[in-house]
Structure 1
Amino acid sequence: MRLTNKKMKLVNRSAIATAALLALSGSAMGVAHAQEASGAPAPAGETAGDVQKVVVTARRREETLQDVPVSVTAFSADQLSKQGVPDVTALALALPNTTLKASRATNSTLTAFIRGVGQADPLAGFESGVGIYIDDIYLARPQAAVADIYDVERIEVLRGPQGTLYGRNTIGGAVKYVTRKLAAKPDVRLRTTVGNYGQVEGVATASTPISDTVRIGGTVARFKRDGFGKNLFTGAENYDKDVTALRLSAEFTPTPDLFIRIAGDGTQDDSSPKNGHRLIVGRTSGAPILSNEFDTRANLTKALGHDQEVTAHGVSALVEYRLNDQFTVKSITASRKDKSWAPIDFDSLQVVDMEVPALYKNEQFSQEFNLTYTGDRIAGVAGVYYIDAQAYNKFDTILAGAVPTSTFTSGDIGTKAWAAYIDGSYNFSDSLSLSLGGRYTVDKRTASIYRQIFLGAGGTPEMGNAAAIPFRTDTDLRSGLEREDKKFTPRVAVNYKLNADHNVYASYSEGFKGGGFDPRLNIVGTRIPLAEARRGYSPETIETVELGLKSSFNGGRITTNTALFHSDYQDVQIPGSIAIDTNGDGRDDSFAGVTTNAGKAKIRGFEFETVANLTRDFTLAGMYSYIDAEYKEYIVAGVNVASQRVFQNTPKNSANLRANYDIALPLMGHNGKISLIGSVSYKGATNQFETVSILDQESYKLYDASIVWTRADGKIRAGIHGKNLGDERYKTAGYLFPTLGNEGTLTAFYGNPRTVSATLEYRF
């Protein structure tokens, strides 16, 4: 794999940062029972006969999945490998009431919703309702969070409010990457993938002990693919992929009770701009709708003179010390940065009609200390957490019209938050346990927002056009924007084992997400009172009651996990953009952010997951979920319009059925087995925004299949993977501004078409 100069800079940045932390550490001195062969999510764990018990750390300590009174699904590295899962978004097909997808016009920004709670807007100031964690490190921003899957031990997805167990409070749920600890012996792993659309990928991982107490390792990965479509105007690829990733780590065990890990990682995305498919004919030009949903005619190729580019890198230090058999203390220190150059052509035409060249920059520092206790009857965790994050974006809105205009918008949002949390369980008996938890959070936001309109369609001085003519300043709030939100959120759960095979639990939990400021705020155009603008939008809260049953049958060969939940969602934060008339001529000539707090919503749902090891070689697994999410109070201009609003990215029905059949098959003189894996996934009708529109997606099905041969010792694996074999075209996001510009903007983005790939893995 050949690395360009830019990618070498990425490697060097991560290596230097890791080396610095290594030096610091030197001075200061780790759904059910299922077989690894099954088509079910199943991390390695304890075994009972030929059936494994899945072990998770959802409560910051190791427990079997069937024992933990939390809605959680886990995916092992082996399962991810066998099914050829490309990135985190693909997990959503097997997850109840979960949406994970790339945000509109991006390849690597994540939009995540769990049980109706999430955040679709990636701009500064808007925190996700679903937390993404890498080894307990919270990612404050969604940019670069669509992570390719490599170097993981397992991925856990928790549903419902999370606050008493994790450093950062997340109101909807959490996706938790758990990376592999370095092996005690030299370990080298290679993986290569080739596929249609010119897909060529390679992942190389190596680690080795350099003494009895020190191990080092690293992974370099390259993911490249041609586009699913073409830019018919520039000749460039559309929906292509060009990503380089790196991870370096060192682990120290100076004593049997002390573990230290220093890690650094970096990602660079040099994919082409991702442009949408127009759903309407050009209003002025009559430009027709293209036949291929992945083709475009967009003409915007650069932002501030830069090609599309996303870079992200971070360093972390974990120090874990076991005081005795009961107590363990842990320190988690992390720093991350990312930058995105994003030329976004809203109208997807070769003319300048509605274009938004943008720059996003984010950085964060976090520190967590926690103490875990494990006794005969009592177990729990207590900790403190601090995060200091800065999110900045600036962009132009370039619009054609009778009088072409360019609007410059910048938003710089600071977050400083600290929290103290505790969660513990007490076993009254072998059958009955009670869990209590609480969290006190203080979120402080500061903001600087500026918006200025210029005459002409060539962009603004801030984005490279020095000749632009100033017309009007609509927002100048570069100082004085500050708010602080405080909240205590409890959690209580009762867990009762009817017998060794049936575990019933009931829980009550509260979630909280602080208020903030819309970085696209337009005071003049939307006539927002200055006092209201300075207050910003309010925190949102949720109260969730859940009843669950986790059961095993036939010695653990069949398991079922069922959950019923009901949530009261208050002051729901609804970021949005609306077309506005800034000069009073009766024609929309710009757009602005309007963030509101919908007063009340009710969310009710049902989730069912099962794994059935029908024979030693044949496994069926499935999932079905239902959710009824509706607004009860949504005030617009003094009127409750709740009956006219819907929940976005929350299909009522979702289902998945997976089958795995293993056949003993020696190959090239080596014993092994071939696995035949197939799945069908169903997603119900999905709304893209809070109002019904042409961008909404009707229900659809996806069919996947894999044929995988694994050598008996696990050192070689070869597979062929087919995704979306029915070549379903389904919308995942879009832009809806039909009144803006001369042509109107109504563009949609789509999920991947049919892909076929072959993968070879080798472990030395």
Structure 2
Amino acid sequence: MIARTYLFAGVAGLSLLSSMAFAQDAAPPPEADQTTQQPRGDVIIVTARRRQETAQEVPLAISVIRGDSIEATGNFNVVKLQQLAPTLQVYTSNPRNTSVNIRGLGVPFGLTSDGFEQGVGIYVDDVYNSRVAAATFDFLDVAQVEVLRGPQGTLYGKNTTAGAINITTNQPTFDFEGRAELSVGNLGYKQAKAAISGPLSDTVAARIAVAATGRRGTLFNTITDRWINEQDNLGLRGQLLFRPNDDLNITLSGDYSRQNPECCGTVFVRVGRTQRALNRQYDALVAAVSAANPGRSYAEPSRNPYDRLSDLDSSLNAGNKIGGASLRVKWDLGSGTLTSVTAWRFWDWRPENDRDFTGLSIVSRSQNPSQQDQYSQEFRYNYAGEKIDFVLGLFGFKQRIDTQGTEQQGADASRWSLSGAQATDPSILKGLTATNTQWLKSTSAALFGQLSWHVNDALTIQPGARLNYDKKSGFYQRIVTNGQGQQISCTPAPAAGSVLAAQCGVYQPQVSAPSDSAWNLTYDFNVNYKIAPDILAYATYAKSFKTLGINQNGLPLNADNTVNYDAGTVKPESVNHFETGLKTQFWNRRATFNLSAFRTEIKDFQATVNGGQFGTVRGYLANAGKVRSQGIEADFKVVASDRFTAYANGAYTDAKYKKFVDAPCPPELSGGTFQPANATPDYSQPGVPGALSPRQCDISGQRLPGVSKWAFSYGAEYNIPVTLLDKDGQVYLGVDGNYRSHWNSNASPSIYTEVKGYALTNFRAGFRGEDFDIFGWIRNAFDVNYIDLLQVAPGNTGLIAGQPGDPQTWGGTIKFSF
């Protein structure tokens, strides 16, 4: 024992020093069937209801993705996970501006604000991660990922209105074990993982995991002569388990991850006509800038986005660090289990962006670094009896975010943003700088619980409730200086046509300090009935909410150019959720088929409104009247034999704005002189230069952005037992793929931001034995051209930029365990 302890400690220390070590995520083994020799499906254990039970016993829609499936299919973070879970939508223009939605709901599509909550909670080993930036990091020693659909507030620490992603990592073991993995591929792809676990004494075990990923970028910047949008990730996790007896487990965990890529750039996609004067739209402005600068004629490196050529002239960076520590105590009291989870997490975001999406010097500098600290404490008591099960919990959360923003106008800004004689004077806007200082404080506390009453062997009635208190306060200050470094003031309003008026039309000083608090009581009610031993039917109603929001990135202006302080706070969302489902297993449990139907209605939906001009607020929150998401989901898996397995999942999602009468207008209805304030909005001249533009647009009935109506995923694997180099094992061939129908990439759906549907296919083939696996893989095998995200450039010039999805990639992976 002593020798093994020292061996483990020494190897663990080496693993921390070696970024080229290997790792393989462990997956829970299938449960052996003692009653028959016929093959049976895996019995998948989940903790969706904060207790261990099989996935088929849980009366809610849940997708369970095992660690080995994640790695075999190359889905190494939550962003990629949507290829396996059709009801999950993840879109990212950079780590901070990442949207994680389920069934089209969760966070408003567009620029992210610190002042609102996530509708999809991300949990790692019971710890809530408040920043969706965590979704962009590599999975590290993951055992299982559970995607729970629908409100989860009566079971989980932080209230979640759309669902939760519950990530479970491999835990320390008292049996010595190690796993290793190395992958290499085209585009300079390298990924290494390692995990080592074992005893330090009879009562203490430890586990250490490390992962490193690097890959050349997928876009080529012709200005810097470099590939951009690369991957450069490093992650570490260490865990200590103290088990003094069978009733008490104390786990201390710490993790650190960092990204340091040159990211995140875009390419030219298209130009769409707006209602701005024709000589003030993109192509005319490019011609004017070129004419004003003989010898510097501007042209995009390509107008085909799939040439993957960019010419961004501002610095790019997506420096991102996230980590923390947690202490989890589980104490079996005989009558039930008491769990305490104490956690601290931090997030350090160091971005640099090119906000004009061109090689012109319009916005020469744009960056909003942030630093976050969060603290959480959760207590849960789980009781399981013959007739009654229940979970009772207390949750406390405290968060502070500090942000320091800088945006600066460049040498071409006057020509681009001004008109008349002022457009010919670069000095008016060159060097004009907005410096933002802001902070957010957020406090939340909750009492929650859920009861399961087993009326008889078949019928269970399950009510739940949550009492929640939230308080948010913030501060925002923007100071504006001209090219000479002199601070400017826009109060009183400067004379029309003056240089100061032109500068104030781009950046205005502003100070705001929004604050609000609210109590909310929510509840849910579930009835489930076991029709047969392997057939479970259920129905759920949930009354949920997303807590109040504050606008933390500055406030919009009124028609008279004054600050609209009424927009400082945003009302909570009110959620009504209905769901029915059927969970079945048949063919001696070798086949699983689950079906669910849902309808979710949200009143006062918190939507992101994006400013169209460079100088207005980039994005702020506003309440849409009502949205609705409804649909049907189906999941099928079959273990036909020891040689063949397959799965197919599908989702139909109809997500719409039911009522949003004062939404921002899409680009084709923007840019012109505003229609009279009291006039009925006229939408009859989209894309007509010089036409009058509505002040707001009624987008009621239009589809929510970011969600496809149809989404499917599938996979299959076939193996043959062989002996190779005196090793018994299996030669196998696997395929997996996914399809998503078209969707819109703008908060107010636009004819210019419609993203075409696409289908991706991946293959893998290899040889595996008891303690090793060697395989080759090809992803996006048919090199399909598709778009990950489209963005409307500011200024209502009609420029649409975007990020193409990954091209065909291929490589090989070797894994082994010891």
Q: Which residue of 2 aligns with 1:615?
A: 641
Change (3 A) 1:385 1:343: same
Q: Distance in 2 between matches of 1:208 and 1:529?
A: 64
The Cα shift of 1:442 comes to: 0.8
Which letter maps to 2:190? V
Cα-to-partner distance string for 1:293-346 (whole Å, 9 max, x where unaligned): 4332112226xxxx541111211100111111x311011011011111111112
Cα-to-partner distance string for 1:18-39 (whole Å, 9 max, x where unaligned): xxxxxxxxxxxxxxxxxxxxxx
Q: Which residue of 2 aligns with 1:450?
A: 477
The answer to whether the Cα contact below 8 Å between 1:647 and 1:689 also exists between their aligned partners in 2 is no
Q: Which residue of 1 aligns with 2:552?
A: 519
The Cα shift of 1:162 comes to: 1.1
- Paired residues for 1:266-277 under 5 Å: 266-277=256-267
Cα-to-partner distance string for 1:539-560 (whole Å, 9 max, x where unaligned): 1121111010011111111110
Matched residues, number: 702
Is 2:798 aligned against 1:747?
no
Q: Distance in 2 between matches of 1:559 and 1:456?
A: 66
Which residue of 363, 378, 381 maps to 2:388?
A: 378
Q: Which residue of 1 aligns with 2:781?
A: 725
Q: After superposing the two structures, state which structure 1 stretch, 284-293 or 445-454, moved more.
A: 284-293
Cα-to-partner distance string for 1:369-395 (whole Å, 9 max, x where unaligned): 110001112112110001101123332
Which residue of 460, 464, 479 maps to 1:433?
A: 460
Cα-to-partner distance string for 1:83-138 (whole Å, 9 max, x where unaligned): 3332222221221321124x11x257642110121224333213222111101111
- Paired residues for 1:116-195 under 5 Å: 116-119=104-107, 120=109, 121-195=111-185
Is 2:304 aligned against 1:296?
no
Which letter maps to 1:206? I
The answer to whether the Cα contact below 8 Å between 1:229 and 1:292 also exists between their aligned partners in 2 is no
Q: Distance in 2 between matches of 1:94 and 1:217?
A: 28
The Cα shift of 1:671 comes to: 0.7
Q: Distance in 2 between matches of 1:313 and 1:706?
A: 33
- Paired residues for 1:492-641 under 5 Å: 492-524=525-557, 532-533=565-566, 535-580=568-613, 589-636=615-662, 641=698
Q: Distance in 1 between matches of 2:484 and 2:205?
A: 57
Q: Which residue of 2 aligns with 1:18?
A: none
Change (3 A) 1:611 1:538: same
* SS, match of residue 161 in structure 1: coil
- Paired residues for 1:302-381 under 5 Å: 308-324=318-334, 326-354=335-363, 355-381=365-391
Which residue of 76, 81, 84 maps to 2:66?
A: 76
The Cα shift of 1:46 comes to: 3.3
- Paired residues for 1:59-138 under 5 Å: 59-101=49-91, 103-104=92-93, 106=94, 110-119=98-107, 120=109, 121-138=111-128
Unpaired segments ≥5 residues, structure 1: 1-10, 16-40, 462-468, 581-587
The answer to whether the Cα contact below 8 Å between 2:472 and 2:516 also exists between their aligned partners in 1 is yes
Q: Which residue of 2 aligns with 1:659?
A: 716
Which letter maps to 2:256? G
Change (3 A) 1:397 1:225: same
Q: Distance in 2 between matches of 1:568 and 1:298?
A: 41
Change (3 A) 1:665 1:149: farther
Cα-to-partner distance string for 1:251-293 (whole Å, 9 max, x where unaligned): 1001211100001100111111220011247642452335454
TM-score, normalised with respect to structure 2: 0.81
Unpaired segments ≥5 residues, structure 2: 1-11, 17-25, 272-281, 291-297, 415-422, 489-499, 664-677, 679-695
Q: Distance in 1 between matches of 2:530 and 2:246?
A: 35
Change (3 A) 1:592 1:167: same
The Cα shift of 1:460 comes to: 9.4
* SS, match of residue 642 in structure 1: coil
The answer to whether the Cα contact below 8 Å between 2:608 and 2:622 also exists between their aligned partners in 1 is yes
Change (3 A) 1:43 1:563: farther
The answer to whether the Cα contact below 8 Å between 2:146 and 2:167 also exists between their aligned partners in 1 is yes
The Cα shift of 1:409 comes to: 3.2
Q: Distance in 2 between matches of 1:630 and 1:81?
A: 35
The answer to whether the Cα contact below 8 Å between 1:736 and 1:747 also exists between their aligned partners in 2 is yes
The answer to whether the Cα contact below 8 Å between 1:278 and 1:347 also exists between their aligned partners in 2 is no
Q: Which residue of 1 aligns with 2:31?
A: 46
The Cα shift of 1:590 comes to: 4.2
Which residue of 635, 643, 650 maps to 2:700?
A: 643
Which letter maps to 2:608? P
Cα-to-partner distance string for 1:657-701 (whole Å, 9 max, x where unaligned): 211112112222111112211123110111112322323211111
The Cα shift of 1:60 comes to: 0.5
Change (3 A) 1:647 1:183: same
Q: Distance in 1 between matches of 2:131 and 2:27?
A: 29
State the identity as a percent: 26
The Cα shift of 1:534 comes to: 6.4
* SS, match of residue 538 in structure 2: strand
* SS, match of residue 80 in structure 1: helix
- Paired residues for 1:395-474 under 5 Å: 395-399=405-409, 400-401=413-414, 402=423, 403-404=428-429, 405-456=432-483, 474=508
When Rg is computed on C-alpha atoms for both structures, the one with the higher figure is: 2
Is 2:737 aligned against 1:680?
yes
Q: Which residue of 2 aligns with 1:7?
A: none
Q: Distance in 1 between matches of 2:99 and 2:434?
A: 26
Q: Distance in 2 between matches of 1:356 and 1:73?
A: 39
Q: Distance in 1 between matches of 2:140 and 2:528?
A: 35
* SS, match of residue 81 in structure 2: helix
* SS, match of residue 181 in structure 1: coil
Aligned CA-pair RMSD = 2.7
* SS, match of residue 321 in structure 2: strand
* SS, match of residue 68 in structure 2: helix
The answer to whether the Cα contact below 8 Å between 2:656 and 2:701 also exists between their aligned partners in 1 is no
Which letter maps to 2:759? K
The answer to whether the Cα contact below 8 Å between 2:121 and 2:129 also exists between their aligned partners in 1 is yes
More strand as a share of residues: 1
Change (3 A) 1:554 1:534: closer
Change (3 A) 1:520 1:697: same
The Cα shift of 1:565 comes to: 0.6
The answer to whether the Cα contact below 8 Å between 2:717 and 2:733 also exists between their aligned partners in 1 is yes
Which residue of 655, 666, 690 maps to 2:747?
A: 690
Which letter maps to 1:124? D
Q: Distance in 2 between matches of 1:356 and 1:59?
A: 43
Q: After superposing the two structures, state which structure 1 stretch, 419-428 or 744-753, moved more.
A: 744-753
Cα-to-partner distance string for 1:44-82 (whole Å, 9 max, x where unaligned): 453435322111111001111111101111111222233
TM-score, normalised with respect to structure 1: 0.87
Q: Distance in 2 between matches of 1:126 and 1:241?
A: 29
Which letter maps to 1:330? T
Which residue of 385, 390, 395 maps to 2:400?
A: 390
Change (3 A) 1:442 1:67: same
Which letter maps to 1:691? S
* SS, match of residue 106 in structure 2: strand
Change (3 A) 1:561 1:99: same
Q: Distance in 2 between matches of 1:506 and 1:47?
A: 31
